[in-house]
Amino acid sequence: MKKIENIDDYKDDFKNMKIPDLKTFQKIEYGEDINNFLNLIKHQDKEDEQFLLRKKIIPVLTGIIILVVVFMIIPVENPVILSGSLMVLFGLISILIMFFKDYRNISKETFGLNLKEYLQNKMDRLRSWRSTPRLYNIIFIFYVFGCCIMLLGNTSFMTSLNNTQNIILFIILYVLAFAFSWIIGEYRYRRRYKKLHLHLVRNISELLRELESDDDSIRE
């Protein structure tokens, strides 16, 4: 049984990996099975990068560009609308920075780690996809609040609501609509994790246990 101490032993193979044959993962063994498994992780990294790019980064970046263009074409003189718009812009920029950071963390090279450290790093990153981090939710609430201020600052829109009862009803429906979109987004996020990440987390955990067991037997 070949003992692999460092991922540098097959660094070139890892960099040139192609999309693997996604078969049911079974008992981990050294040699070709480890290379195939690392290939599977590499494939999932590419899937995660594309997901962040298409579903997160590009839509948020598009929203920022549209908002800036609107600012340039239509000067905002109402201070309430301006403050709400700036809150929305700040929220979008903050979330974009965080998405770019997540994207960078996926593609960051970790070849200096030994095999166990590398797998532990990957497992921790995959587990972080289980739910949206709290900071993302705070920024989302900040964004929603900014949108609400923009609408409330629009005097013509508020006048069209006629009375306080309609305004309160509008605010309730507005908040419910955003809450619904957040729940749907969170559900899809978790479902994606369960479908694409959970089995990898379990398999990495199994491999780590076997590597640890192998180290224990060598020490004995």
In a domain, 68, yes or no: yes
Residue 22 has pLDDT above 50, yes or no: no
Which of 41, 15, 72 is closest to 203 using CA atoms? 41
In a domain, 136, yes or no: yes
| 8-state DSSP, 162 | -
The residues that bridge with 114 in the sheet, in sequence order, are: 6
> pLDDT band at 16, cuts 50/70/90?
low
pLDDT tens-place string over residues 87-137:
888 888 988 888 888 888 876 666 566 677 777 888 888 887 766 666 777
In a domain, 10, yes or no: no
pTM comes to 0.71
In a domain, 8, yes or no: no
In a domain, 17, yes or no: no
pLDDT tens-place string over residues 31-78:
566 667 777 788 888 888 898 899 889 998 998 998 888 888 877 778
Q: What DSSP line would sit under 118-154, residue for residue?
A: HHHHHHHHHHTTSS--HHHHHHHHHHHHHHHHHHHT-
In a domain, 96, yes or no: yes
d(CA 160, CA 137): 32
Residue 28 has pLDDT above 50, yes or no: no
Q: What DSSP line would sit under 33-92, residue for residue?
A: HHHHHHHHHHHHHHHHHHHIIIIIIHHHHHHHHHHHHHHHHS----HHHHHHHHHHHHHH
Query: Residue 187 is inside which H or E element, if any?
Result: helix 164-192
For the CA atoms of the chain, what is the radius of gyration? 24
Q: Give Cβ neighbours of residue 155 (< 8 Å, ≥ 6 apart).
A: 78
Which structural domain range is residue 83 located in? 22-219
Number of domains in the chain: 1
- What percent of the chain has pLDDT above 70? 74
With H, G, I as helix, E, B as strand and everything else as coil, classify residue 24. coil
In a domain, 1, yes or no: no
pLDDT average, residue stretch 77-92:
86
With H, G, I as helix, E, B as strand and everything else as coil, classify residue 15. helix
Contact 206, 28 (CB under 8 A): yes
| 8-state DSSP, 4 | -
Number of neighbours of residue 189 by Cβ within 10 angstroms: 16
The dihedral through the CA atoms of 53, 57, 61, 63 has a sign that is positive
